[in-house]
Structures are given as C-alpha cells and as structure tokens.
Amino acid sequence: MAELLKNLVAGSWVAGKGPGTALLDPVTGAEVARVSSEGIDLASAFTHARTTGGSALRALTYAQRAALLGEIVKVLQANRDAYYEIATANSGTTRNDSAVDIDGAIFTLGQFAKWGAALGDANALLDGSRAKLGKDGAFQSQHVLVPTRGVALFINAFNFPSWGLWEKAGPALLSGVPVIAKPATATAWLAQRMVADVAAAGVLPPGALSVVCGGSAGLLDSLQPFDVVSFTGSADTAAIIRAHRAVVAGSVRVNIEADSVNSALLLPDAAADSEAFSLLVREVVRETTVKSGQKCTAIRRILVPASLYDAAAAAIGAKLGAITVGNPRNEKVRMGSLVSRTQFDAVKSGLNQLRAQADVLYDGSKQELVDADPAVAACVGPTLLGTREPDRSDVVHKVEVFGPVSTLMPYRDLEHAYALIRRGEGSLVASLYGADTQALARAALELADSNGRVHVISPAIAQQQTGHGNVMPQSLHGGPGRAGGGEELGGLRALGFYHRRAAIQAEAAVIDGLAATPLAL
Ligand code: NAP
C-alpha cells in the first residue's frame, strides 16, 4: 500500500484513521498515495487556525505578510522538480500542462507578494475617501477594510491542485486570514506536498496554513460566522454549500467558482484566409488540448459566421489530428490523460449526451495511444463536435464535458451570436477574434455582463496575448450565473473577499489616524 499522507491541523501532522482512499496514476493505474481525513479533530483545527494563526497574521502589516508570500515562492521554486514528478504521476499531465498548474501558482503568488509590498506598513485598508456628515465637516465618515477574524476554508477542484491552492492562499494570507485547504481527493498529493514543504521551511506562523486531505465530512459544520469559504468545483456541490446552515443562518461568506460553457466568437468581418480565423483555430486547438481540456475556462462553444462553418471544422480537425495522446512521460506525447478513470467515464457519458444533438466533426477516439494501455489509462483523444442548428440544441449550451471536447456552431449575425453565447447562462470567459478594433470593443462590452472575462484577440497582439483559458492574477476570475457568481483575483480586488468593510464615523482627527492604527489583537 502507498504512503498515507498526513493532514496538517492544529499545528501538527496527523494521520486520518483507516486505510484511506487510494490516489492513482491515471495512466498506469498504480497507487501513488493514500489520504484519509477520518477521525480528525476538526473543531480544534478550526479553533487553532482562527485564534493562533489569525492572531499571528493580523499582528503583521501587509508588507510583512507580502514578504511571507515571497518566502513561500522561494520554497516552491526550490522544490519545483518534485512537484513536476507528482503532477505527472497523479494528474497524468505533460510537462507543459503541469507548468500551467505549478508555475502558474508560483507566478500568481509572486504577483501578490509584489502588490502586497506596495500596501506598506498598514494594518487596515481605507476604502474610498472620507465624506462629511455634518455641515461644517467636523464629523466625517470613512470606510475601512479589516481582515475578517475567521478562517478561509478552501474546497478545491481536482484539475488545479497547485494553482487552485495558491491563487486563493496568496490573497487570503496577504489579507491576514489563516487558511484551511481541502484539495480534491483525486489529486490531493501535490497540494499536500507543497503545504508540507512550506511548513517544513517554517515560513508561516503556526496555524496560518492547514491542509485536510480526504473526505469533506464535517468541514462545513465547523464554520462560524466570520469564516469564509472559497469553493471551486461542480454546480451540484456548490448547491450543497450554499444550502448549508453555516451559510444560510450564519452568513458565512461564500465564493463559488463552478462549471461554465465558455465561448469563442469569430467576428463577421473575418474571412477563411484572415489572420483572425487562424488565431481562432490555433486558440481552439490549444484550449481543447491543454490539460486534456480539464480547465474550467476552456473553450466549449465555437461560434463562427455560417459561411465559415465548414472551413473552421476542417482547419480545427486537421490540427487536432496532429495531437499525440498517451503517457506524458513519453516525449512524443502532446496530450496526457484525464485525472482519473472516473473522469474518463464522465467525459464519455457527456460526449454521448452532446452527440445526441451534434455531429462528430473530428473523432480523436480512433487515435492510438502512445505508451498507454487504453483499457487502463484515462486517456481520451480530442473531439470536435458541431451543430448547424444551435438554436434547436439545448445540451450544447448546458453540458460542460470536462475533457478535450468542444462544439462548433454557425451564427447568422452578431445579435444571433450574442444570444447563443448567453444561452450558457453566465460563463467565466468568452474570447473574440477579429481585426476591426471598434467592432471588437463593441462586442466586448456586449458580452461583459454574461462573462467574467472577455479575452479579445486581434492580429496586433497575437504574440503577446496570454491565452483564452489562462487566468492571469491581474484580471478577474469568476463569472455570473451558472459559472457560480464568484470573483477571484483581479489584482488587489482579491483581498476584498477576506476583509470586512465598516464605516467609521468620527471627528476628523480620529479618521486621520485610521490607516496607522494597529488592529486590537
Ligand atoms: P466536485 O465534485 O464538486 O468537487 C470539488 C470539491 O468539493 C472537492 O474537493 C470535493 O472533495 C469537494 N466536495 C464534494 N462533496 C462535498 C460536500 N458535500 N461538501 C463539501 N465539499 C465537497 O467537483 P470536481 O468534479 O472535483 O471538479 C470539476 C468541476 O469543477 C468542473 O465542473 C469544473 O468546471 C469546475 N471547475 C471550476 C473552476 C473555476 O474556477 N470556476 C476551476 C476548476 C474546476 P472530494 O474530491 O473529496 O470529493
């Protein structure tokens, strides 16, 4: 039996009871580790984080906490090679795909370290400017932001064990709020190892960062009113969290990042031989195949002018045909596996649902796997589906197949395209492709209410653009409606979730002293 990974709770490493759940190599099926959260004293874990961890973090200024993030970056960088090995073994990702998770996390933390340093030696943040409450201005109001006196519980999805942890922990720790991370079971190893390395380096004060690996039972029951929960995962689990007593009765603040049927839209001015057309094709192929399509931001729906439907199908299909699929340890392999056989089954069943209302334009399931046994490995070839009647299909706008699958659809005019995109009922990201900057600006605003991010690709920035699905810490991540209604990142906006806003009404001299006033601990 593989090693049972311990949990870091109440400042100690604790093994859960029983044999635990096995984590597998999704390519070979070999057991790589075990996790168990059974029997853990969650009440003590949460109390220790809230009191010991929270007090220690709040005693520091923003600049001091930013320096801690910088120290975490150094620890993670020093252990990068081990993380790549774990990602290959437990997530089945190629080196390039592991980088999105591992180096993406390090980059994001580094950004928050830099932005946090600029906040200086303050213990509270002022929000906006002061307002006069009386006629003579002697009595004033100033809004302040102070760190919430609770814990931040992170419940994360399986596809980003590293980035999912640190893109949340960066803003939380910088805000002065201790973290309890619960990685998704299937890929928990990487998050657990990273926390272990940071703990061993003694970078953070005791109680600032805990990790619970294994089942989620009891986590939500441990929440108290000043705690916050940041969740990434499926809409079904999100609904359970939203309905929990801690949220309904205790007003525990919740951020939800759920699934999303994201779009890519080629503007009507593009021809089949235009650069915009090629940029769309390249981006769709990249988004379909990076991390085997297991990105919440991946392109799921491709909208092109009706006259370009066949050309787009041919161009995308040809490029997908060149993608080699199999064991990520083999250098010839461009796309590794899904994270588990369970996901493999989920992708197959989602594909069947979509195929009931769409044609298969490129079928990667016929491709031979490199160095992998199709009966064991969670590898699936890329698939391009298409429907010429996107108005009559509901599943293509509803069902997110969390794998290398996207659906092409034609539109008549831009109003039709916008209506189709909105049938996703709120998404994380839409990308636009064209050369007319005025038309792109109009379309971007048109889609900004239904997409958390609009990524606009034009020939002028073809080389510099950061990618439809790449979540940059400078930009908002989250989307309305079925995408969960959450907001993460967006530079220092991310700190808002971990702070409480209060209005201080006082004489001007008191207001003058607010930013320099340390919090009572
Ligand atoms: P999931 O089944 O909802 O699991 C997500 C997390 O919730 C896991 O840590 C899981 O733990 C935990 N969980 C399950 N049941 C729970 C409960 N009753 N109470 C508390 N926690 C519970 O989702 P998934 O299948 O892992 O993730 C894939 C989905 O995530 C996709 O639909 C994808 O679109 C979405 N996603 C969204 C984003 C985004 O940023 N918007 C990013 C990545 C993924 P166990 O693993 O132990 O079951």
Phi and psi based region of residue 470 (left: phi greater than 0; alpha: psi -120 to 50; beta: remaining): beta
The single-letter code of the amino acid at 181 is A
CA distances from residue 122 to 146, 426, 499 in whole angstroms, order as listed: 10, 37, 14
| Cα–Cα dist 97/300, whole Å | 18
E-only strand ranges, 148-227:
152-155, 179-182, 209-211
Contact of 411 with 435, CB cutoff 8 Å: no
pLDDT over 50 (residue 401):
yes
pLDDT over 80 (residue 518):
no
Question: Is 237 touching ligand 1 by the criterion CB < 6 Å?
Answer: yes
Give residue 520's pLDDT.
39
| Cα–Cα dist 298/289, whole Å | 9
Q: Which atom of ligand 1 lies at the shortest distance from residue 240's CA? A: 18
Give residue 151's pLDDT.
98
Radius of gyration of the chain from its Cα atoms, rounded to whole angstroms:
24
| Cα–Cα dist 180/167, whole Å | 14
| Cα–Cα dist 471/464, whole Å | 15
Whether 287 is a known active-site residue: answer no
Q: Which atom of ligand 1 lies at the shortest distance from residue 471's CA? A: 40
Averaged pLDDT for residues 82-102: 98
Give residue 24's pLDDT.
98
pLDDT over 80 (residue 355):
yes
Q: Which of 167, 283, 287, 296 is catalytic?
A: 296
Pocket test for ligand 1, best of 7, 37, 168, 216 (most atoms within 8 A of CB): 216
Q: Which atom of ligand 1 lies at the shortest distance from residue 236's CA? A: 3
The confidence band for 367, taking pLDDT boundaries of 50, 70 and 90, is confident
Q: What is the pLDDT of residues 142-191, one digit of tens each?
A: 999 999 999 999 999 999 999 999 999 999 999 999 999 999 999 999 99
CA distances from residue 418 to 203, 268, 441 in whole angstroms, order as listed: 48, 12, 14
Residue with the smallest CA separation from ligand 1 atom 10 is 184
Residue with the smallest CA separation from ligand 1 atom 28 is 233
Q: Which two tokens stand for residue 96?
A: 């390039």
pLDDT over 90 (residue 192):
yes
Whether 213 is a known active-site residue: answer no
Contact of 445 with 299, CB cutoff 8 Å: no
Q: Kindly report the backbone phi and psi dihedral angles of residue 346, in degrees, each rounded to the nearest multiple of 5, phi listed first.
A: -65, -40
Question: Is 453 touching ligand 1 by the criterion CB < 6 Å?
Answer: no
Mean pLDDT of the chain, nearest integer: 96
Question: Is 158 touching ligand 1 by the criterion CB < 6 Å?
Answer: yes
Question: What SS3 state is found at 226?
Answer: coil
Question: Is 163 touching ligand 1 by the criterion CB < 6 Å?
Answer: no
Q: Estimate the share of the chain in helix, then strand, then coil, as percent rounded to the nearest 5.
A: 40, 20, 40
Q: Which atom of ligand 1 lies at the shortest distance from residue 219's CA? A: 20
Q: What is the pLDDT of residues 456-482, one digit of tens each?
A: 999 999 999 999 999 999 999 999 999
Question: Is 184 touching ligand 1 by the criterion CB < 6 Å?
Answer: yes
Which residue has tokens 């929960």?
Answer: 229
- DSSP assignment string, 233-301: S-HHHHHHHHTSHHHHTT--EEEEE----EEEEE-TT--TTSHHHHHHHHHHHHHHHGGGG--TTSEEE
Contact of 462 with 274, CB cutoff 8 Å: no
The confidence band for 97, taking pLDDT boundaries of 50, 70 and 90, is very high
Q: Which residues pair with 210 in a beta bridge?
A: 180
**Element at 361 (helix H, strand E):** strand 359-363
Question: Is 243 touching ligand 1 by the criterion CB < 6 Å?
Answer: no
Give residue 521's pLDDT.
32
pLDDT over 50 (residue 103):
yes
Q: Which atom of ligand 1 lies at the shortest distance from residue 186's CA? A: 46
Comparing CA positions, the residue from 262, 306, 265, 326 lying closest to residue 411 is: 306
Give residue 365's pLDDT.
85
| Cα–Cα dist 504/184, whole Å | 41
Question: Is 157 touching ligand 1 by the criterion CB < 6 Å?
Answer: yes
193-197 — which CB contacts under 8 Å span 24+ positions? 193/79, 193/82, 193/83, 193/86, 194/76, 194/79, 194/83, 194/162, 194/165, 194/166, 195/8, 195/165, 196/8, 196/13, 197/75, 197/76, 197/78, 197/79
**Element at 9 (helix H, strand E):** strand 7-9
Q: Kindly report the backbone phi and psi dihedral angles of residue 196, in degrees, each rounded to the nearest multiple of 5, phi listed first.
A: -60, -40
Q: What is the pLDDT of residues 114-149, one digit of tens each?
A: 999 999 999 899 998 899 998 899 999 999 999 999
State what percent of residues in the chain have pLDDT above 90.
Answer: 96
Q: How many CB atoms lie within 10 A of CB 449?
A: 9
Averaged pLDDT for residues 367-371: 95
Q: What is the pLDDT of residues 487-509, one digit of tens each?
A: 999 999 999 999 999 999 999 99
Phi and psi based region of residue 415 (left: phi greater than 0; alpha: psi -120 to 50; beta: remaining): alpha
CB contact set of 67 (below 8 Å; sequence gap of 6+):
113, 117
Give residue 231 CA to ligand 1 midpoint distance, Å.
8
Number of alpha helices (DSSP H) and beta strands (DSSP E) in the chain: 16, 22
Give residue 350's pLDDT.
97
Pocket test for ligand 1, best of 154, 259, 287, 428 (most atoms within 8 A of CB): 259
Q: Which of 167, 213, 257, 379 is catalytic?
A: 257
Give residue 223's pLDDT.
98
Question: What SS3 state is found at 27?
Answer: coil
Residue with the smallest CA separation from ligand 1 atom 34 is 259
